[in-house]
Structure 1
Amino acid sequence: MSGRPVVVFAVPDGIDDPARVSGGNVYDRRLAESLRPDGWEVRLLPVTDAPAALETALAGVSDGALVLVDGLLVQREPAALPAQSGRLRFVVLAHMPPPEDGPGVREAFRSARRIVATSAWTRSELIAQDAAEPARIVVAHPGTDAAPASRPSAAGGRLLCVGVVAPHKGQDVLVAALAAARDVPGWTCTIAGSTATEPGFVAELHAAVAAEGLGDRIRFAGVLTGSGLGDAYAGADLLVGPSRSESYGMAVAEALARGIPVVASAVGGIPEAIAGGRGAVTVPPGDAWALERVLRRWWASAEWRAELATAARDARASRPGWADTAATVGRALREVAAEAPAAHPGPVGTAARS
């Protein structure tokens, strides 16, 4: 017996699958890795997308166990948590707020003893939806890895956009902005992310790029991981995050941790990922004209590029790491582990809601 506290971590099946790279999967994997040095024995419980898969998986967990559950699983199968909350001690990891019209999802979130939100914006949305009592929600921002500072090119023409290629990530807004700026010479843009999730949207993007004659300037790189993703950041002058919705903005944080300036939508948790840094500029979500204006200024002013790059590099040391994320989550888990299994037999706040 190791004597280490044990947490069962229910995660979507395939979080290590390169074809399923997402911010949520990266967070789950890095959190599990970082909880172990923090003193935890982490037992991963992969859950498939089969019907009642979460219910079946939880049924096999021993009474009184401490269980951390990815919130995406809860949204997929909300009845599973309330049914087991009398014998298991649940903590829900909320990568994003539940859908407001999701039947039973808020009740499932209320059945957890704590909720870990990946941004203060997500926490505020959970409170606004009455999905949890404020005192039971902690914020654990995604961490970043220490990395060498990037070396910007003289012209600032190398753009990078990282994220699953889908409408909520706004790559169509970026393509429209770049099409309007096709008269500016020298720029290129790499769009890195899975193209399998929204094939119709991807087809429309490819058609738009071809129609504008930008096929030699805008490249769809597909999923990049490990050294491939590291090389993409190292070769970028500017990270563009044109999302329409975003619970945090891990690509934004990763870019700033490498000293890469950012232009991104002022939406959701992105301002938190920027953390007030002067190395980033925000634009309204969905506004291709505003994005084009900022990009034109970026290319036109070497002085402004240097100012943003210096600010991004200066802020690198202040970015939180994954050990900080694990420490925050670990404190919440230890609080719940200290509670008696029978101390919380039903959904949080149920007694207050007559």
Structure 2
Amino acid sequence: MSPGRAAPLTFVVPARPAGEPSGGDRYDALLAAAWRARGREVHVEAVPGSWPRPTGEDLAGLADVLLGAPSAPVTHRSSRRPMCHDSGEGGGPVLLDGLVGCAAPEVVERCAARRPTAVLVHAVLSEGAGASGEDAAAMDRSEARALRAAGAVVATSRFAAEDLRGRYGLEEVAVAEPGAEPAPLAGGTPPPRGPQLLALGAVTPGKNHGVLLEALARVRDLPWAARCVGPAPDPEQLDRLLRLAEGLGLADRVDWPGPMTGEALERTWAATDLLVHPSRSETYGMVVVEAHAHGIPTVVAAGTGAVEALAGEAGVAGHPPAGGAPGAAVDVTGPGPLAEVLREWLTSADLRRAWREAAVSRRGRLCGWDRTAERMDAALARLGR
């Protein structure tokens, strides 16, 4: 079935504050745009709630979107049409962002019994939420139940798909890697104000800003400046990092401008020489691909899905990337290895040139979001078979 003749799709995503999109939010928006460009009818339903820890009201609102439940009317949806009813009447296919779907297994089970239902997993629920102990265990149980109920599960990388299969005993997990939007080539920042380092992501424990600061403190004898761009959902976490930066003597070298989008973010990309992405848990790392789209090399955490984004398609297939990798993967359990890599990059013009050339080369070979939409269509086409 061509995308233009495919059944209209309901795409359920978490509602977010304007100006604070996550990587998953950007994936969802760009995927929907790619589908529409391919001629597929897509109805995006942004459901409010404290995902992945929904209240009863949040779950009732989601049920209303998916099942047309009359007992919990909501007014936030882009349309009020009930897509399916508890009477057993069928409905068109639905794709749920995992932040919503994996937190609502009972609703997913009811929906999957009535209409073709798929779940898109951007990150393991407990890891994305930074949960621990019984909170994490409860999220894992919820996620396992939801994914086993779904007719199809889609991950954003091969790394993530393998993790989900092993973690929850799933037989099949499809993969639809993020695409890349065309972007202008970054010029970077020359000395004495540069090189400019960028960490782009929410200020949460999982993003590992503390280890980044400690690594930067070990190279403070060298010229550089850094920006940590992203929302801070926990003000206390941000305060701890600001105090750490001050104690390490980095207060005047590390900037915390908050979330950025649009032209402000593009100006930051234009001034960046190296993306440092030490996130402890990463399914793929869209930000890594975004950096490569600007011709910017990257340093990522070893043992995460971001290594897949760094390696590119050829690297994942077992062949060294043409021209070498546009960066490096390092152990980020402590600051030492990251500091060593940063020192080598900061002091070696040859290494900076090699990484930059590899990033520019990768920039010309990145796939667009049309391929992501095509792979998602293939996964959804298997629903009900």
Instruction: Give the TM-score normalised by structure 2.
Output: 0.82
- Counterpart of 2:166 in structure 1 is 128
Residues 312 and 194 of structure 1: CA distance in aligned 2, closer, same or farther (over 3 Å): same
- Counterpart of 1:9 in structure 2 is 11
Residues 176 and 8 of structure 1: CA distance in aligned 2, closer, same or farther (over 3 Å): same
Kindly indicate whether the alpha-carbon contact (under 8 Å) linking 1:12 and 1:47 is maintained by their aligned counterparts in 2. Answer: yes
Q: State yes or no: 1:157 paired with 2:195.
A: yes
Q: Which ranges in structure 1 are unaligned for 5 or more consecutive residues? A: 344-354
Q: Among all aligned residue pairs of Structure 1 and Structure 2, give the percentage whose two residues are the same amino acid.
A: 34
Q: CA deviation at 1:147?
A: 1.2
1:190-269 aligned at under 5 Å gives the runs 190-195=227-232, 197-269=233-305
Q: State yes or no: 1:304 paired with 2:340.
A: no
Find the partner of 1:168 among 194, 206, 216.
Answer: 206
| Whole-angstrom CA distance in 2 between matches of 1:3 and 1:114 | 20
Q: State yes or no: 1:64 paired with 2:91.
A: yes
Kindly indicate whether the alpha-carbon contact (under 8 Å) linking 2:7 and 2:92 is maintained by their aligned counterparts in 1. Answer: no
Q: CA deviation at 1:4?
A: 5.8
AA in 2 matched with 1:205: L
| Whole-angstrom CA distance in 1 between matches of 2:152 and 2:102 | 16
1:86-125 aligned at under 5 Å gives the runs 86-99=113-126, 101=137, 102-125=140-163
Runs of at least 4 residues of structure 1 off by over 6 A? none
AA in 2 matched with 1:95: H
Kindly indicate whether the alpha-carbon contact (under 8 Å) linking 1:238 and 1:262 is maintained by their aligned counterparts in 2. Answer: yes
| Whole-angstrom CA distance in 2 between matches of 1:73 and 1:294 | 38
Q: CA deviation at 1:84?
A: 2.3
Residues 201 and 295 of structure 1: CA distance in aligned 2, closer, same or farther (over 3 Å): same
Q: CA deviation at 1:78?
A: 1.5
Say which SS state the counterpart of residue 247 (structure 1) adopts. Answer: coil
Q: Which ranges in structure 2 are unaligned for 5 or more consecutive residues? A: 50-54, 69-82, 85-89, 127-135, 316-320
| Whole-angstrom CA distance in 2 between matches of 1:193 and 1:267 | 23
Kindly indicate whether the alpha-carbon contact (under 8 Å) linking 1:5 and 1:39 is maintained by their aligned counterparts in 2. Answer: no
AA in 2 matched with 1:263: V
Kindly indicate whether the alpha-carbon contact (under 8 Å) linking 1:243 and 1:267 is maintained by their aligned counterparts in 2. Answer: no
Q: CA deviation at 1:130?
A: 2.9
What is the CA deviation profile of residues 200-257 of structure 1, one whole-angstrom value per residue up to 9, with x for unaligned ones? 2211110011122322210001101111111111100111011111111111111112
Q: State yes or no: 1:54 paired with 2:54.
A: no
| Whole-angstrom CA distance in 1 between matches of 2:124 and 2:240 | 29
AA in 2 matched with 1:182: R
Q: State yes or no: 1:189 paired with 2:226.
A: yes
AA in 2 matched with 1:169: K
What is the CA deviation profile of residues 163-216 of structure 1, one whole-angstrom value per residue up to 9, with x for unaligned ones? 0011101111111111121111x2100110001x12222111100111223222
Q: CA deviation at 1:98?
A: 4.4
- Counterpart of 2:330 in structure 1 is 283
Say which SS state the counterpart of residue 37 (structure 2) adopts. Answer: coil
Q: State yes or no: 1:293 paired with 2:340.
A: yes
Kindly indicate whether the alpha-carbon contact (under 8 Å) linking 1:159 and 1:189 is maintained by their aligned counterparts in 2. Answer: yes
Q: CA deviation at 1:289?
A: 0.9
Q: CA deviation at 1:307?
A: 0.9
| Whole-angstrom CA distance in 2 between matches of 1:39 and 1:332 | 17
What is the CA deviation profile of residues 50-95 of structure 1, one whole-angstrom value per residue up to 9, with x for unaligned ones? 4223223211223232001111112221111112222111011111
**Aligned Cα root-mean-square deviation (Å):** 1.8
Q: Which has the higher contact order (CA 8 A, sep 6+)?
A: 1
What is the CA deviation profile of residues 95-140 of structure 1, one whole-angstrom value per residue up to 9, with x for unaligned ones? 1234473334212211111111111111111110235222xx2111
AA in 1 matched with 2:152: R
AA in 2 matched with 1:77: A
Say which SS state the counterpart of residue 224 (structure 1) adopts. Answer: coil
AA in 2 matched with 1:194: P
Kindly indicate whether the alpha-carbon contact (under 8 Å) linking 1:189 and 1:218 is maintained by their aligned counterparts in 2. Answer: yes
